[in-house]
Every structure is written in structure tokens, then in C-alpha cells.
Amino acid sequence: MLSPPAAQDQVAALIARATRAGADAADAIYVCNASTQVQVRLGALEDVERSEGEEIDLRLFVGSRSASVSSSDLSGEALAALVDRALAMAREAPEDRWSGLAPADRLLAGPPRDVDADDGADPAPADLRARALAAEDAARGVAGVTNSEGASASASRAVFALGTSHGFAGGYATSGYSVSASVIAGEGAAMQRDYSFHSARHAALLEAPEAIGRRAADRAVARLNPGKLASGQMPVVYDPRVGSGLLGHLTGAITGAAIARRTSFLLEKLGQRIFAEGIVVRDDPHRPRGLRSKPFDGEGLPTAPSEIVADGVLTGWLLDSASARQLGLSPTGHAVRGVGGPPGAGTSNLYMAAGTLLPEDLIADIRLGLYVTELIGQGVNGVTGDYSRGASGFVIRDGRIAEPVAEITIAGNLKDMFLNLTPANDLEFRRATDVPTIRIEGMMVAGA
């Protein structure tokens, strides 16, 4: 694994090679990931995996034609062949007047912001095994748990570097740690499964494995003997671990590509109210130790915290340079890029700000409703906003969470769902996308 400065040098050398060979412009990224994962089941070691791989990706332009080629071989001979192949491909590619590097005057200048994404630790496999065993032991110790699908613990490090022929060069390293457990409660046809996990950039921020295991077990036991729920229109309350998907539907509808192609249910909603008053959705790429914190985006533009939704109003699109040109706008610093293709647009640490009500107060007036803890299927139409998902969870009866239910379908339209959404005050930063408990009025529930 190269250090970030060495990775930047490798990227710069490849760009220089491409421009000398005849490319009008070029950018390149270097990505290296190294990880160790230990899996246990029923108290015994089941698997130890160690992986490490590095790739470099070159995107070059010949006029308005472009091509992208990647390689895991970083030798001089391999990179020379990569440049030749990319040039040959670009000369045969169709013209695209919107493609190109990010504007030079918009690139990050000066030192990148420190987001404290790497703690430099390298835990031994024995330490990871101890964490996984602790999580599973705690889960198996809960009454009602009858079997285990296993527990795992992992540690990883990654290095990312980006350079452009406009003169940008930047790189950073990240660390990552996680613990998960999945267990089964009950017997025979009545068995129920559930899980829990936690991920963190710094090992010191990782939740105790015993707490993760107990949560997985408690969830599985609580799901035993699910019943049915009568069909009808009623409030639906989303647990935070599934409610974050609602923000995924939001961001998918406001990326530049969706707007340019006119394939978004929010196409005409810029500057308009799409949530109730007081609702705020923020993207914060500068959160120290955040799971997706980064000092610059996938094209070298500086990142900055932003309010995507302010007081319920949609404030703007998420734009990379290509979609910004197509829409006659400026890129927003939301470009994301992986190996093997052009940049797209996306978010970093996305969250919905907490509301004012305790979760128990949020449901206190619900005579009959549904508390969702699991969603199934992908029944969401990004063009119309129509929403239909399989679900399981618990009945809300007379203001309290009651018996478990399963085999339910919930449906609505995301435009109406957003407008009828109320967040609780229990926001926690545990994932890359976080929401508090969320209540949505008037959804259709199809049960028994």
C-alpha cells in the first residue's frame, strides 16, 4: 500500500505520460484497500480473510471524446500499455460535449482539510476474533436465542489519491472497523432471524461487541410469533435503521444525471417545499471521523457542508461537472468516483436533523399503526415517486409498540410521504446516512 504522497506521485506520473502521448486532458485516481475479517460461529473460528488490492484508473480526453482504463499492475510497462489503450479507445469513442475535467478555477487550492479519518491502528487477527466471539457470546446468552448465523469483526485501511492535468493533486488515508452479529430465535417454522452491526473510522469509537450482540438477540426474540395486520390507511413509523432509505430515494432524485435526463419525481421541485416546515437534511463531508468524510470530491473540488433541504424546501441539485454543464449550472462538490468509469454525483455523511418529539411521544396518539423494522424488495419508481415495499415490524396499538407482524406491504408516493413526515429527536450518527425515528401519515398498509 502506497502512502498518500507516494500515491499522488504515481497518479501525477501517469497523467504526465498520457499528456505526452497526445491526450488533451486527463485525470487519474489511485485506490488501495487492505482488510482483515474474522468470522466465528457457535463459539468456534469459522474463517479468517485478508485481502489487499490496489488499482489505478486513467481517464483521458481527445477533444470531446474520452475513455477510461484501469489496471492493478503499476509497473512502468503496464502503465505505458494502459495509456496507449486509453488513447486508442478515446479516438473511437463518441463525442460528448458535456464531458471533461472539472473547471480549473473551481479545484481545491491549498492543503486539504483534515477529517481525522485514519487512526493508524492495525489490530491483530486475535483481537478481531475476540471481538467477534464477545458479540456472539452475548447474543447467544439471551433467552430465546436458539442458533447463530455467526459474528464477525473486521479492520481495514484505504488510500485514495486523485490528480488532474489542470494541476490538482490530493490524497488521504482512511481506517475502518466493524463488528456484526446475526442470530436466530425460536424453533422450526417459527424461527426468526435478526442482526446488528456497528462501523467506525476509529477503533476507539466502535461500540462494545457485547452491546451489538445483545441488540441482535433482542431483536430476533422480539420478532417471534408474528401476526397479521388488517389492511387500511394508517400512520407508519420507521425505525432509524430502515428510515435512512428514504433519504436514499431523495438523493437519487436530485442528482444531476436524473435531472438532466428528466427522470426524477422531483424534477420541478427546486426551491419548493417538499417536506414539512422545519425539516432539514444536511450533507457534512467535514465531520471528523465520519464514515464518508473527505476533503475533496471525486473531481478535485473542495467539499463543504450543505443543507440539501432547508426548512422543508429543496435548495439545489447534486452536480458533478458533466451534469452541471448539461444543466447550465456549476458543479457543487458532490462528485463521486470509483475505478473504471466517469464521476457521478452523491453525498457523504447525509442526515436528517432531529425533531423535537421523543419517539414515545411521536407515536402516543396512534390508535392503530405500524412500526417498521425491516423492508423487503425495491418497489420504488424514481420517475413517479410511487413507493411499495414489503415490510415487517410491530403493531402500534393505543400509542404503544405491541405484537410483531410480518408479510405486510406498505405503499404511498414519495412526494406525499415527504410532506407528511415527522422526525423524532433520537438522531444518532451511526451510518453514512442517518435519520431519527420517522413517522409518516396516511400510508396504505396491506396485511391480512
Q: Tell me the DSSP string of 236-262.
A: EEE-HHHHHHHHHHHHHHSBHHHHHTT
Q: Can you list the domains of the chain with their CATH numbers?
A: 4-221 (3.30.2290.10), 226-448 (no CATH)
From residue 305, alpha-carbon distances to 232, 255, 269, 308, 336 in Å are 41, 17, 22, 10, 16
**Is 292 exposed, middle or buried (CB count within 10 Å of its CB: 0-12, 13-18, 19+)?**
buried
pLDDT value for 378: 83
Q: Tell me the DSSP string of 402-416.
A: EEEEEEEEEEEEHHH
- Length of the chain measured in residues: 448
Q: At 128, is the secondary structure helix, strand, or coil? A: helix
* Local confidence band at 64 (pLDDT 50, 70, 90 cut-offs): very high
Instruction: State how far the Cα of 85 lies from the Cα of 98, in Å rounded to an integer.
Output: 23
DSSP summary character for residue 219: H
Q: Looking at residues 202-231, what average pLDDT do you find?
A: 96
Among residues 328, 327, 321, which one has the least CA distance to residue 344?
321
User: In this predicted model, what pLDDT tens digit does every residue of 149-204 receive, in sequence order?
Assistant: 999 999 999 999 999 999 899 999 999 999 999 999 999 888 999 999 999 999 99
Instruction: State how far the Cα of 349 lies from the Cα of 292, in Å rounded to an integer.
Output: 6
Q: Looking at residues 267-295, what average pLDDT do you find?
A: 97
* Local confidence band at 432 (pLDDT 50, 70, 90 cut-offs): very high
Instruction: State how far the Cα of 71 lies from the Cα of 57, in Å rounded to an integer.
Output: 7
CB 234 within 8 A of CB 445: yes
Q: Looking at residues 290-312, what average pLDDT do you find?
A: 97
Residues 6 or more apart from 237 whose CB is under 8 A from it?
362, 363, 366, 369, 370, 371, 372, 396, 437, 438, 439, 440
Global pTM reads: 0.94
pLDDT value for 5: 94
Instruction: State how far the Cα of 247 lies from the Cα of 63, in Å rounded to an integer.
Output: 38
pLDDT greater at residue 338 or residue 70: 70
pLDDT value for 1: 84
* Local confidence band at 224 (pLDDT 50, 70, 90 cut-offs): very high
User: In this predicted model, what pLDDT tens digit does every residue of 373-400 receive, in sequence order?
Assistant: 999 988 899 999 999 999 999 999 999 9
pLDDT value for 189: 84
pLDDT value for 340: 80
